[in-house]
Amino acid sequence: NWNPNAFNTTFNSTTNNRLNVNGAQALIYTALEGTTVYANTTNASPNFRGLVIGSGSSGTMIITGGTFSTAGSLAPDIIGNTSSNTGTLTINGGNYISGTPGLFLGGGSGNNFLNVQSGTATITTLSINTTFASTTSLTGGTLEVDKITTSNVGTYTINLDGGTLKAGAGAS
């Protein structure tokens, strides 16, 4: 599950207390994995992230059960970290919990996606910083977010087509 293609050595890796998700084959996180916490508090700045999807190559992570958390990390998780790479995080069951800094959607010039289809995504700050295009889609389940911030140029789309959008802690 963590590297279903042994010939793809750039697929997934755990480096300095964070999970890197790259490669053509999606990483599937299921209920069998139970609860996993990547709390990156020891790596050198600015790499205190618990989860990085699409850095070095495009990457996809699908959570179908269990709980994947980066609570305690000192920098936000990131989807789409480098130029021309696509990053995708899909919650289709189970739970995704971002660390206190939240989730950074779009650091490069590729298309980046956050999809909540069922299950729960709990994100403190959803930061959108894209030079190309990023999309968040809520079609089922619950997306709980304290605040959404945007910067840089590019296109950002939020699709609301079912599910529950829940305000977390109050923020200005």
Each residue's pLDDT tens digit, 130-144: 667 889 999 999 999
Which regions of the chain are under pLDDT 70? 1-16, 43-47, 107-109, 130-131, 153, 171-172
Dihedral sign computed on CA atoms, order 82, 70, 118, 163: negative
Q: In degrees rounded to 5, what are phi and psi of residue 53?
A: -115, 125
Contact 53, 87 (CB under 8 A): yes
**Which pLDDT value is given to residue 1?**
43
Contact 111, 130 (CB under 8 A): no
**Which pLDDT value is given to residue 47?**
67
Q: In degrees rounded to 5, what are phi and psi of residue 31?
A: -60, -25
**Which pLDDT value is given to residue 123?**
95
**Which pLDDT value is given to residue 14?**
54
